[in-house]
Chain A
Amino acid sequence: MPQPLSAKDGAAFRQVVKLYELKQHKKALKTAEQILKKNPNHGDTLAMKALTLNAQGHTDEAFSLAKLALQQDMKSHICWHVYGLLYRSTKQLDEAIKAYKFALRLEPESAQIQRDLAFLQIQMRDYNGYIESRKAILHARPALRQNWTALAVACHLAGDLSAAEHYLKTYEDTLKQPPPRTDMEHSEASLYRNVLIGEMGEVERALAHLKTISRNNLDRTAVMEMRADYLLRLDRKDEAEEAYRALIVRNNEYRLYYEKLEKVLGLDRENPDDHAELAALYTSFLEGNHRLDAARRIPLDFLRGDEFKTAADKYLRRSLAKGVPSLFPNVKALYSDDFKRTTIQSLVEGYTSETQADGEDMPQHTNGDASSKFVQSRLYFLAQHYNYFRSRNLKKATDFISQALEMDPKSPDYHMTKARILKHLGDVEQAAEVMSFARELDTKDRYINTKCAKYQLRNNDCESALKTMSLFTRNESVGGALGDLHDMQCMWYITEDGEANLRMDKLSLALKRFKCIYDIFDVWQEDQFDFHYFSIRKGQIRAYVDMMRWEDQLRSHPFFTRAALPAIKIYVMLHDNPDLSHGHLANGSIKLEGLDAAERKRALKKAKREQERLEKAEAEKREAEKKQTKKTGTGGDGEPKKEDPDPHGFQLLQTPAPLDEAVKFLTPLLEFAPKNITAQNAGFEVFIRRNKPLLAVKCLRAAKSLDPEDPVVHEQLIRFRRSLDSTSASPIPDKVAQVLKSVSQDLLPDSTSLTAFNDAFMAKHASSAPHVRSGLRARGYLDASSKERNEEELLATLDLVDLSLEDTQAGLELLGEWKSSKAVQDEYLAKAKALWPEATSFKRR
Chain B
Amino acid sequence: MDIRVMKPSDIPHVQQANITNLPENYFCKYYLYHALTWPQLSYVAVDVSRPPKTPYDPPKIVGYVLAKMEEEPSDGIPHGHITSLSVMRTHRRLGLAEKLMRQSQRAMAETYGAKYVSLHVRVSNTAALHLYRDTLGFNMDKIEAKYYADGEDANCMRMELSHLRFEAEEERKGIKDQDEGDEVGSAGKKDDDKKGKKRRVKVGRVLGVGDLVERNESSAKAG
Contact = CB atoms under 8 A, between A and B. Distances in A.
Interface of A: 21, 178-185, 211-216, 218-222, 250-251, 253-256, 291, 293-294, 322-326, 329-330, 332-334, 336, 413, 444-448, 450, 472, 474, 487-492, 523-524, 527-528, 530-531, 533-535, 537-538, 540, 542-544, 546-547, 550-551, 556-559, 561, 636-638, 672-673, 675-676
Given A219-B40, A474-B223, A550 B7 contact: yes
A211 B176 CA distance: 8
Contacts of A330: 1, 49, 94
Interface string B1-38: 11111011100100110011111011111001001111
B3 A487 contact: no
A472 B23 contact: yes
Q: Which 7 pairs show the lowest CB-CB distances between chains A and B?
A: A333-B49, A543-B39, A181-B181, A447-B89, A547-B8, A550-B9, A215-B177
B149 interface: yes
Contacts of B222: 474
Given A324-B94, A326-B91, A557-B12, A181 B182 contact: yes
Residue among A179, A218, A543 with max Cβ neighbours from chain B (10 Å): A543
Interface string B42-66: 0000011111001111100000000
Contacts of B36: 531, 534-535, 538, 540, 543-544, 547
B142 to A, nearest CB: 23
B145 interface: no
Residue among B37, B103, B111, B112 with max Cβ neighbours from chain A (10 Å): B111
Contacts of B199: 182-185
B32 to A, nearest CB: 6
B72 interface: no
Nearest to B92: A325
B88 to A, nearest CB: 7
B204 A333 contact: no
25 contacts: A178-B180, A180-B188, A183-B199, A211-B178, A220-B168, A221-B110, A254-B2, A256-B2, A325-B89, A325-B92, A325-B93, A329-B91, A332-B49, A334-B49, A444-B124, A446-B22, A528-B32, A530-B208, A533-B209, A540-B37, A544-B36, A546-B8, A547-B8, A558-B54, A675-B54
A534 to B, nearest CB: 5
Nearest to B192: A182
Contact of B28 (A179, A218, A444, A523): A523
Interface in B86-120: 88-95, 98-99, 103, 106-107, 110-113
Contact of B56 (A293, A336, A528, A558): A558
A546 B36 CA distance: 9
B94 A673 contact: no
Contacts of B35: 543, 547
Contact of A534 (B16, B171, B207): B207
Given A558-B57, A676-B54, A215 B15 contact: no
B19 A180 contact: no
B28 A450 contact: no
B133 interface: no
A179 B27 contact: no
Contact of B93 (A323, A448, A550): A323
Nearest to A180: B182
Nearest to B196: A182
A595 B98 CA distance: 67
Nearest to A672: B56
Contacts of B93: 322-326
Contacts of A214: 175, 177
A179 B179 CA distance: 10
Interface of B: 1-5, 7-9, 12, 15-16, 19-23, 25-29, 32, 35-40, 47-51, 54-58, 88-95, 98-99, 103, 106-107, 110-113, 124-125, 149, 168, 171-172, 175-182, 188, 191-192, 195-196, 199, 201, 203-204, 206-209, 211-212, 214-215, 219, 222-223
Contact of A488 (B2, B25, B182): B25
Contact of B181 (A180, A543, A637): A180
B179 A178 contact: yes
Contacts of B2: 253-256, 294
B27 A213 contact: no
Contacts of A329: 47, 90-91
B8 A638 contact: no
Contacts of A558: 54, 56-58
Contacts of A487: 27
Nearest to B35: A543
Contacts of A211: 177-178
A214 B171 CA distance: 12
A221 B5 contact: yes
Given A220-B111, A221-B5, A543-B8, A488 B27 contact: yes
A222 to B, nearest CB: 8
Secondary structure at chain A's binding surface: helix, strand, loop or mixed?
helix
Contact of B58 (A444, A531, A546, A557): A557
Contacts of A535: 36
Nearest to A222: B40
Contacts of B206: 21
B179 A253 contact: no
Contacts of A546: 7-9, 39
Nearest to A211: B177
Given A182-B196, A221-B110, A638-B211, 7 more contacts: A218-B111, A219-B111, A324-B93, A333-B51, A413-B89, A474-B223, A550-B9
Given A255-B48, A534-B36, A546-B7, A673 B54 contact: yes
B123 to A, nearest CB: 12
B4 A254 contact: yes
A260 B19 CA distance: 35
B110 A218 contact: yes
Residue among B48, B55, B94, B191 with max Cβ neighbours from chain A (10 Å): B94
A672 B90 CA distance: 32
Nearest to B214: A638
Nearest to B173: A215
A540 B181 contact: no
B81 to A, nearest CB: 17
A52 to B, nearest CB: 15
Residue among B8, B40, B50, B93 with max Cβ neighbours from chain A (10 Å): B8
Contacts of A213: 177, 179
Contacts of A446: 20-23
Given A178-B179, A214-B177, A491-B12, A251 B3 contact: yes
A495 to B, nearest CB: 11
Contacts of B214: 638
B6 to A, nearest CB: 10
Given A220-B110, A488-B25, A491-B16, A542 B3 contact: no
A221 B178 contact: no
Contacts of A185: 199
Contacts of A524: 28
Nearest to A544: B36
B13 to A, nearest CB: 9
A288 B120 CA distance: 32
B203 to A, nearest CB: 7
Contacts of A216: 177, 179-181
Contacts of B5: 221
Contacts of B211: 638
Contacts of B208: 530
Nearest to A301: B49
Nearest to B184: A181
A21 B4 CA distance: 41
Nearest to A551: B8
A530 B179 contact: no
A638 B29 CA distance: 13
A281 B55 CA distance: 32
B204 A534 contact: yes
A636 B204 contact: no
A678 to B, nearest CB: 9
A672 B55 CA distance: 11
A489 B176 CA distance: 48
